Amino acid sequence: MDAIEAIMTRRSVRHFTRQPVTDAELETVLRAAMAAPSAHNQRPWRFVAVRDRATLDRLATATMWATPVGRAQAAIVVYSERIALRAPGFWSIDCAAAIQNLLLAAHAGGLGAVWIGVYPITPFRRAVRKVLGLPATAAVHSMVALGHPERTPEPVDRWNPDWVRNV
């Protein structure tokens, strides 16, 4: 699958089979995430790869949108240690770029995934941090539920030329 096809056909997947996500599949999506651009090349992102069923189930109740984590065979929690960053205001954008790469790599590799926003809602960030035992300095950004798709939604063409202003 080439890059354009991956971008145009990727969809959020919220239902997964019981087939495990392998170490190799996790490494592939995490390598893709870490290949994302970041301000001053600081790469402020950190990742927690979760496959423990009890932890997935606890994360599934950490936010009002996290139910798919409980159906997934794995999840990636993305956070930042924002200590001594030269461009501290960009950590959330950098994490978002890493997540987009992760989602595209998952899709290209035959996995399904859905991005579950946590930041900027403080109670959600605290809840995820507590489930994982992360320190107070960990700025939780998002979770990605990951697994083999039970079904894959059809691609949607979202092109709208009215949203483009040419000058």
Give the tens place of pLDDT for each residue, 111-142.
Answer: 999 999 999 999 999 999 999 999 999 999 99
Residue 3: is its pLDDT beyond 90?
yes
Give the tens place of pLDDT for each residue, 84-95.
Answer: 788 999 999 999
Q: What CATH class is the domain 19-151?
A: alpha beta
Task: Report the alpha-carbon distance of residue 65 to residue 63 in Å, rounded.
Answer: 5
Task: Report the alpha-carbon distance of residue 115 to residue 12 in Å, rounded.
Answer: 7
Predicted TM-score of the model (pTM): 0.96
**Contact assessment for residue 38 and residue 61, using Cβ atoms and an 8 Å cutoff:** no
Residue 81: is its pLDDT beyond 90?
no
Reference 68, options 149, 132, 153; nearest CA is 149
Residue 83: is its pLDDT beyond 90?
no
Angle at 28 between CA 114 and CA 40, to 5 degrees: 85
**Residue-range domain boundaries for the chain:** 19-151
User: How large is the angle between the packed helices 23-34 and 91-108, nearest 10 degrees?
Assistant: 140
Q: What's the pLDDT score for residue 62?
A: 98
